A and B are shown apart, each in its own frame.
Chain A
Amino acid sequence: MQSAWGKLWLVGLLWAGLFGLFAQQALWGHILSALFPSAQTPLFDRETLLSLSLQHLGITVAAGLLVILIGLPLAIFATRPLGAAFRPLLESSVAIGQTFPPVAVLVLALPIFGFGSTGAVLALFLYGLLPVVRGGLEAFSALPADVLEAASGMGYSPTQRLWRVEFPLALPVLLAGIRASLVLILATATVAPLVGGGGLGTPIVAGLAVSNLGFVTEGAVSVALLALLTDWTLTRLEAVLTPWRS
């Protein structure tokens, strides 16, 4: 327990370090012009790296919150007696939905949600819903039956049982689903500039269009760092929230 919280300090430090690094616009400029001497402006100059990364994180968090707020209740509903009839449908939809390519989801949502970051957030939400719903369905249906019976036997109402017994037991798998979803959303958000969503994909897409490798590298390195740190942070969070597993 102690060590898990200790690592959480490290997480905070790394996030501060990463955004500190993103704020060093001049440093990025120096490094990129050393790497790509032939490019006239190796650093994306329409927006600072810091604002791009904040946009990226903003889109991810907004879509992620929507996913959690809608995906979890959906999974809980389908594992209750009332919604049990819909569960196979939900399972099969999730399986099919996962074969949809992320870019296709993003651009297909274009005519419906329109151009801009709202559209991107909603499309990413739809895509990110899948791991959370799947994780939720798995988590709530793999609980040991004797524990649940014991809870009911102790006189818990279905709602009490859900919150006091099922939810804590399902938490590890739920959290794994949420992590998968957030990492997926963050990665897919790189293509968001195609639909006007902004974020760290902007310099990549712009750089590819005018074949400026400096722009491409700037965006690619930053988004890769952001993705790795996000993944690691959520892994740590899982460890802290479910200390009984380690």
Chain B
Amino acid sequence: MSSDSDHSIEHHIQTYIRVFIALGVLTIITVAVSYLDVSFIEAFFLAIAIASVKGSLVLGFFMHLISERAAIIWILVATTVAFIILMFIPLISVTDSTGLY
């Protein structure tokens, strides 16, 4: 984080408390929606959507990404691209016909 004056730190502390409350509420919501009578795909996307919001709050505010230098942002962009590719690798198994013939 770049600017660290006493005033800005005190302002950040208020933000940390708000983020903490939001994370607590979102955790309760995560558990609550798991009891909804929905299909697996719907439950999956709901759970991942809420977890992504929680993750963004942690990354943005606790890890100060919203005010971080470009070098770090680019490292994370590259990591995200690699992570997404990694997540799609299992889908190859769905289209792979090896073993069927």
Q: Do A and B associate with each other?
A: no
A-side residues, CB < 8 A to B, are none
